[in-house]
A = this chain, B = another copy of it.
């Protein structure tokens, strides 16, 4: 196509409109390989100047399998990383077959024997606890069939919630389960989709640990992928490639893509052992509320939560785990009706300590549970999970204060 607008001329091959496009723009691929969207105004001239080859998709011959390559199962659930592949094949719906993957990232065939599964095609903001349970079921299936590592392709928005949920559900895990996503879609030169996926597959096949983890780019370079423990990770930037950070804990490991070298950062991990038999504990109680305290917050939200029959609540308090004294009576009432109320900090970094000031001690006295250095998001998932494991508030409380999947650090390093 040739597009002329405001004195500028653009020539390139017409591209399928992406999901994020609208009907006011045409997307063309320039000779440089870069895609641009051009806004069509009443004065814009659009002309067909030739017939290019249709976007074609020729799968390279699937390697017979290098000897010694371990089997890795990739389970796609949606998000930018999965739509990358459909973009290349011209499809609008996310799709991820093993052949697609080998074509998109040929280097994958050098590092593992890939089996690919499409479980969901969901944007991650639409994920619910039911999707978490579905993922656990699929993981159980591929683990039983003898895979060496599992990679979950997932949208980045709620990836950390899912990684926490899988961390709690998958007990006695024999192999690593690595979640991976992409912060930049593949039509941008800075896309991290291919390298993140390569890294995740390598890590799931090589790692000596059998934990749920998130593997994402660490910085603007293409060299390193950081592996974050599933309960200690958070998306800390709306758009940056290095949005994912381990909070209140070192990362588990770092993977050097150039040297294919996995450096273990935290040697205190749950080790890989293929003989172990995976158990899944998949009950969640979704009647759990996450609330963030702020000046001027009304106590009526607690009254409402009682009426709505919420079983649990995670409060993001200020500082060491505080809320205004004006809320205390309503929180007390909620606890008296049997609601489990856990305290985390909106600071995110550091540990709650409710013994330092009278505010904290008063909250402890009415039964608020101090959730140590757990991230609020992880705490929310854990309360849902704990209340799915037992209906006894005391047992649930005990479970909350037990380190189930690395969510509670022994101590917090101030320099983190």
Contact = CB atoms under 8 A, between A and B. Distances in A.
Scoring A162, A318, A414 by chain B CB atoms within 10 A of each residue's CB, the highest score goes to A318
Contacts of A318: 124-125, 157-158, 235
Interface in A271-327: 284, 286, 288-298, 300-301, 304, 308, 316-326
A315 B288 CA distance: 18
Contact of A126 (B288, B308, B325): B325
A132 B294 CA distance: 13
A239 B414 contact: yes
Contacts of A123: 322, 357-359
Contacts of A156: 319
B296 A357 contact: no
Number of copies: 2
Interface in A127-170: 127-129, 131-132, 156-158, 161-162
The interface residues of chain A, by DSSP majority, are classed as: loop
Contacts of A131: 295
B239 A351 contact: yes
A128 B296 contact: yes
Nearest to A349: B237
A400 interface: no
B319 A308 contact: no
Contacts of A404: none
A349 B125 contact: no
Interface residues of A, number: 75
B319 A157 contact: yes
Given A19-B357, A20-B358, A290-B292, A236 B349 contact: yes
A121 to B, nearest CB: 13
B19 A358 contact: yes
A77 interface: no
A358 to B, nearest CB: 6
Interface in A211-245: 220, 235-241, 243
Contacts of A124: 318
Contacts of A286: 296, 298
A335 to B, nearest CB: 19
A308 to B, nearest CB: 6
Contacts of A157: 318-319, 322
A399 interface: no
Nearest to A325: B126
Nearest 8 pairs between A and B by C-beta? Answer: A238-B350, A157-B318, A157-B319, A125-B322, A237-B349, A237-B350, A240-B414, A286-B296
